[in-house]
Copies of this chain bind each other. A is one copy, B any other.
Amino acid sequence: MKNTLGSSVCVTLFGESHGAQIGAVLDGLAPGIPVDEARIARQLSLRRPAGKISTARREQDEFRIVSGVFEGKTTGTPLTILIPNADTRSDDYRRGAPRPGHADYTAYVKYHGFEDYRGGGHFSGRITAALTAAGAVALTALERREIAVGTHIARCAGIDDAPFTDPRTEIEKLNSLAFAVLDPARGEAMRTAVEQAAAAGDSVGGVLETMVIGLPAGVGEPWFDTLESLLAHGLFAIPAVKGVEFGDGFALADLRGSEANDALVLRDGQPATATNHNGGINGGISNGAAVVFRCAVKPTPSIRLPQRTVNLQEMREEELTLGGRHDPAIVHRARVVADSVTALVLCDALAQRYGTDWLRGEPG
């Protein structure tokens, strides 16, 4: 199940950057969930490159749902979304000069040279368009249970965004922004920094912070399917993600227990944590507080500056200067992918706990 995420609700991805079509099969989602194509299109547009801080490749992402939806709602059987690749320029790529920081060399070793190397093939960030489309359906399903997911660019090119202060409102706002920040001024500074890096033929990275509101307590497993394990499993599959931390994350390493523990108090007559250093998860199981985590996104490996690599045919070192169209940053585009992975993982965990029909939001 190499290209599949999840066990009760699961998504399988297929396709290559320069192949005929990419797509996703979403299986196990409850029947009766409304599927809004405009919503899917909107999510795809948030992932799509735009302006000077993204690649010049322009895909309309004219997706088509070919199974699993009937009369506008999920059937409960596999929902398949296809997205044709249109704007491909395969001549931009040649075999045998693996791009540093990309999967070119590792794919070559793993697949013995049979891989479709054009544009990164199956490893291309292009495939996240299919993931985003499937994630849009999962996000809709979660909303039936009033579970909201949102991500902001917490840091980009060394510049921090403002923190969440009123998550439910802010999540709604973020989900309409192409460059998702809580403080527009800092967002502007980030964009300027990205453009500067682009002008230098270079690229930048950043940190995404995701918040989940409304997840019931009691979701996740002790060993080994902790909620952190399940989320991290999906998040580390997003290209360029090299770190994941929950709650205060690495900063917890420097706290004392008396600072890191979240006291339990009564809120509206129910137990709740007074603080949220643990990111809404204790012992691998949701505690009812907001689930909060951050993903480190490395700078895009495709840069215009010359780099050293090895010509695999002739087994000699050479200098590589990339042509083609590239993103000087992907952290803003990866945002909606993080939301999608999160939604898919949560649908899976919820279906396991409460059964297939729970996400319908009605008695089964």
Contact = CB atoms under 8 A, between A and B. Distances in A.
A interface residue count range (under 10 / 10 to 19 / 20 to 34 / 35 or more)? 35 or more
Contacts of A331: 253
A314 to B, nearest CB: 11
Contacts of A230: 233
A28 interface: yes
Interface in A197-215: 197, 200, 202-207
Copies of this chain held together in the complex = 4
B101 A282 contact: yes
Contact of A203 (B225, B257, B274, B357): B257
Given A23-B80, A64-B20, A224-B237, A298 B252 contact: yes
Contact of A205 (B218, B255, B266, B305): B255
Nearest to A155: B253
A212 to B, nearest CB: 15
Nearest to A239: B283
Contact of A105 (B31, B65, B107, B287): B287
Interface string A18-29: 011111010110
Contacts of A169: none
Contacts of A165: none
Given A106-B287, A265-B310, A283-B239, A76 B14 contact: no
A97 B98 CA distance: 55
Interface in A260-308: 260-266, 269, 271, 273-274, 278-279, 281-288, 296-303, 305, 307-308
Given A25-B14, A229-B237, A243 B242 contact: no
Contact of A123 (B222, B233, B287, B299): B222
Contact of A236 (B228, B255, B257, B298): B228
Given A205-B260, A229-B234, A260-B298, A23 B282 contact: no
Given A102-B282, A296-B252, A1 B5 contact: no
A112 interface: yes
Chain A to chain B: the 10 pairs with minimum beta-carbon distance, closest first: A103-B283, A243-B245, A355-B355, A203-B257, A31-B114, A101-B261, A106-B285, A14-B78, A77-B122, A263-B308
